[in-house]
Chains A and B, each alone.
Chain A
Amino acid sequence: MEPIGPRPSVADELLDELMPEELDWQRLVRRYPKSALLAAAAGGFLLGRGRGREIVAALAEFASEAVSESVNELLGRKVL
């Protein structure tokens, strides 16, 4: 039987994937909420400043491919 509790969000699942398994990041964030937010914002800032454009371009390409694939699948032939 599954434990009763709030359903994990997409962000929770994504962070579970990204973080090492032995690190209980949710416990850390609940215990030090402000520091965790600050660290996340700082990490995001550094990432955005260093590789922001490349990441945005990669995400845009990924999204474009996903949309094309969905449209082609929906129409049953290769349109895009």
Chain B
Amino acid sequence: MPDNVKNIEEGAEKAAKKPAKKAATEKLEAARAKVSEIASGVEKRAEKVRSGAGKAAQQVRDGAGRAGEAAREKIGVARESVRHGYDRVTKDLDQLSRDVTEYVRHNPGKAVAIAAGVGFLIGILVRGRRD
């Protein structure tokens, strides 16, 4: 084939490719814009999610703090109540011990007889349960 014919064919081919290339470029640009738009949307949503998670974490922290404070308060009240009860029981036991000692000193025979009688009854009951 002569060279000039070949050049003509190549020129025609190039001329035919130009509009196609332009269309492809336009489509590529459009696709890039779309991808950028989608990426921007994803970024915005991620930011929203991050913000929401931060708020939720803050709320959880606040709730935990309040619950901890309430629990500490209740524990304090319970501890005070137990201490009060313990003091009262100790005081009552001391008083009872003093009363018993006083009674035994004034009535030694009766006190010994009562103690021996109570022990005797418990002994009978224990033996009866074992037999």
Contact = CB atoms under 8 A, between A and B. Distances in A.
The answer to whether A binds B is yes
Interface of A: 6, 8-15, 25-26, 29-30, 33-34, 36-38, 40-50, 52-53, 55-56
Interface string B97-128: 10011001111111111011111111110110
Nearest to A42: B119
Given A40-B119, A47-B120, A47-B123, 8 more contacts: A10-B109, A30-B104, A34-B97, A38-B115, A44-B119, A44-B123, A45-B120, A48-B123
Contact of B119 (A8, A13, A43): A43
B122 A45 contact: yes
19 contacts: A11-B110, A12-B110, A15-B109, A25-B108, A33-B100, A33-B101, A33-B111, A36-B111, A37-B111, A41-B119, A43-B119, A44-B121, A44-B123, A45-B119, A47-B119, A48-B122, A48-B123, A48-B127, A49-B127
Nearest to A32: B104
Given A44-B116, A45-B119, A53 B101 contact: no
Contacts of A42: 119
A37 to B, nearest CB: 4
A40 B123 contact: no
Contacts of B127: 48-50, 52-53
A45 B124 CA distance: 8
B74 to A, nearest CB: 40
